[in-house]
Amino acid sequence: MLEIERKFLVNSDQFKSLAFTKNQIAQGYLNSHPERTVRIRIKGESGFLTIKGKGNESGVSRFEWETEIPLIEAKHLIQLCEKGVIDKIRYEVQSGNHVFEVDEFFGENEGLVIAEIELKSEDESFEKPDWLGNEVTNDERYYNAFLSHHPYKRWK
């Protein structure tokens, strides 16, 4: 139940031609408190309930528990979420022995593209594709829960 993940900005759309999956995602937060978030996600025709704890000092590791829920229940629960439901397309891109999940945001977060990679340990090495930009792992502005309340378009 430990998520080890690093986040990066994306500096080109080259990843799109390399993607092996692409899914529309809507996600909202029943609770977006930094100590614990409770998220509802609709990904394609599936629903998910996810609880995440606060990240460690490096921001790379944190508790995560997720379970699939019926789509109809996810649709009802997303109506109860805090203001600022996230709309994005997730692309999955193979790079060496790892898969990057690349999120292209829309709506109030349009213009933002973030790549995430899950690792087995904080110091695990991985190939960095050319389209990968600056690391933002420990920058809370790039957490989806933050983006739901402080959209990217308002940063400027």
Of 107, 108, 133, nearest in space to 116 by CA: 133
Catalytic-residue membership of 29: yes
Cβ neighbours of residue 14 closer than 8 Å, sequence gap 6 or more: 129, 130, 131
CB 73 within 8 A of CB 67: no
CB 2 within 8 A of CB 62: yes
Of 97, 116, 115, nearest in space to 14 by CA: 115
The span from the CA of 125 to the CA of 142, in Å, is 22
Residues 29, 142, 143, 152: which is the catalytic one?
29
Structure tokens at 29: 């937060």
Q: How far from the centroid of its chain's Cα atoms is residue 155's Cα?
A: 19
As annotated, the active-site residues are 29
